[in-house]
Amino acid sequence: MGKVLVIGAGGVSTVVVHKMASLPDVFTEVLLASRTKSKCDAIASRIGKDNIKTAQIDADNVPELRKLINSFKPDLVVNVALPYQDLHIMDACLAEGVSYLDTANYEPPEEAKFEYSWQWAYRDRYRNAGITAILGCGFDPGVTSIFTAYAAKHHFDEIHYLDIVDCNAGDHGKPFATNFNPEINIREVTQKGKYFENGEWIYTSPHEIHKPLNYPEIGPKESYLIYHEELESLVKNFPTIKRARFWMTFGQEYLTHLRVIQNIGMAGIEPVMFDGREIVPIKFLKAVLPDPGELGENYKGQTSIGCRIRGIKDGKEKTYYIYNNCSHEAAYKETGAQGVSYTTGVPAAIGAMLYLKGIWKKPGVFNVEEFNPDPFMEQLNKLGLPWVELHDVDLEL
């Protein structure tokens, strides 16, 4: 059906390419390209299918990207490198007239700040070029945004309160590790908290607001209010929302490590001089921390991510909880990657599939909740991320 260029060869990419290889009727050819070609080769050889080729690419180099796109001629470019590459890859796609999909919004390397404005600025250019950009097609953002769209379509006349709850109750056996790229992860969880209420953004100190929440099949876990990127687009696309918040669980050991890392300056993004050369502390830290892509082997337990929603249906107030639980062990057994890579990679492959099938294809730049959620929800059940709905339950929030 179509050719896809996948950029990046980390944990998420491992799952994306694995799923694509299992659907050869949809993904007839996959070119996996990344900064370090040997990592692409390792993924391709583990999967062992003929329809995966590999290449070296510096995705910050737009002319190089254009050359690769022009020679392979993909129908879609799937960006599972880092958020720093988003705009360069979007530029190359625009210049070559090819559609684009990613799982995380742009973040400038020199500032720990992420927002959609940079990518939304491409709307007119993508629309005029007749190509599609699908933004944030992982789990959160991604599935959580689609859960919200599904709830709005089928269960509510108006959504008033949205709480996205993200629990990782897994244990990888390491004293400290991050579940996806350490640099991006630490930048995300150490920033100020922020939530939306009555048309305004309210800021909190990092991890200031927290409470125990009960997660299905897991039990109570301390959950911390943090800012997460899908809140920005969801409150725009569902304007009846009065309050939108995001909660993530952290263990005490993780928070203690994080505090020490910050206190000793290892989370810094400004270059420092070391032995006569400049290094960026957080990039050095990434080099010594466990590779998230390698955590899978001993990872036990599961993730539970979902949306807790309160609103109005037929004039009556109702509550609704939709979630997926994903087992790290099952994810590893299937793909060789842990659950966080799995829950991100499967939705990216589904988004790519819906694009190639022409179901999620329209000119412009879109967040995933702007597409029809139904075909996506159907594929989640088929491709390893089944979801559960609970109606009129205590949301605890």
Most distant pair of Cα atoms in the chain: their distance = 68
Supply 137's token pair: 């097609």
Q: Strand pairing of 158-168 and 364-367?
A: unpaired
- Residue from 5, 31, 52, 57 that binds ligand NDP (CB under 6 A)? 57
373 burial via Cβ count (<10 Å: 0-12, 13-18, 19+) = buried
The upper half-sphere exposure of residue 361, i.e. CA atoms within 13 Å in the direction of its Cβ, equals 14
Residue 34 or 310: the one with the smaller Cβ distance to ligand NDP is 34
Type of residue at 77: V
- Residue from 5, 43, 80, 352 that binds ligand NDP (CB under 6 A)? 80
Query: Which among 11-19, 258-266, 276-284, 363-371 is the span making contact with ligand NDP, rule CB under 6 A?
Result: 11-19
- Residue from 134, 184, 258, 322 that binds ligand NDP (CB under 6 A)? 184
Beta bridge partners of 53: 31
Cβ-based neighbours of 327, under 8 Å, separated by 6 or more: 301, 302, 339
- Residue from 31, 43, 69, 104 that binds ligand NDP (CB under 6 A)? 104
- Contact status: 82 vs ligand NDP (CB under 6 A): yes
Neighbours of 124 (CB within 10 A): 10
In the complex, residue closest to ligand NDP by CB: 10
Q: Scan residues 27-46 and list those touching ligand NDP (CB under 6 A).
A: 34-36, 39
**213, 220 Cβ separation under 8 angstroms:** yes
Whether a cis peptide bond, with omega within 30° of 0, leads into 108 is no
Query: Which among 136-144, 155-163, 241-249, 370-378 is the span making contact with ligand NDP, rule CB under 6 A?
Result: 136-144
- Residue from 5, 8, 146, 221 that binds ligand NDP (CB under 6 A)? 8
Nearest to 144 by CA among 245, 265, 61: 245
Measured in whole angstroms, how far is the alpha carbon of residue 303 from the centre of its chain?
Answer: 14
Task: Report, in Å, the least distance between residue 156 CB and ligand NDP.
Answer: 24
Q: Scan residues 330-349 and list those touching ligand NDP (CB under 6 A).
A: 340, 344
DSSP label at 34?
A: E
Neighbours of 243 (CB within 10 A): 16
Task: Report, in Å, the least distance between residue 279 CB and ligand NDP.
Answer: 16
Supply 312's token pair: 């109005």
Supply 237's token pair: 């696309």
- Residue from 74, 141, 311, 384 that binds ligand NDP (CB under 6 A)? 141
- Residue from 4, 5, 10, 146 that binds ligand NDP (CB under 6 A)? 10
Q: How far apart are CA 163 and CA 325, in angstroms?
A: 17
Q: Scan residues 284-323 and list those touching ligand NDP (CB under 6 A).
A: 292-293
Task: Report, in Å, the least distance between residue 373 CB and ligand NDP.
Answer: 16
Residue 99 or 344: the one with the smaller Cβ distance to ligand NDP is 344
Query: Which among 21-29, 179-187, 235-243, 258-266 is the span making contact with ligand NDP, rule CB under 6 A?
Result: 179-187
Sign of the alpha-carbon torsion through 235, 218, 184, 20 = negative
Task: Report, in Å, the least distance between residue 78 CB and ligand NDP.
Answer: 11
- Contact status: 90 vs ligand NDP (CB under 6 A): no
Task: Report, in Å, the least distance between residue 176 CB and ligand NDP.
Answer: 16
Task: Report, in Å, the least distance between residue 341 CB and ligand NDP.
Answer: 6
Q: Which residues bind ligand NDP (CB under 6 A)?
A: 7-13, 34-36, 39, 57-60, 80-83, 85, 103-104, 138-142, 180-181, 184, 292-293, 340, 344
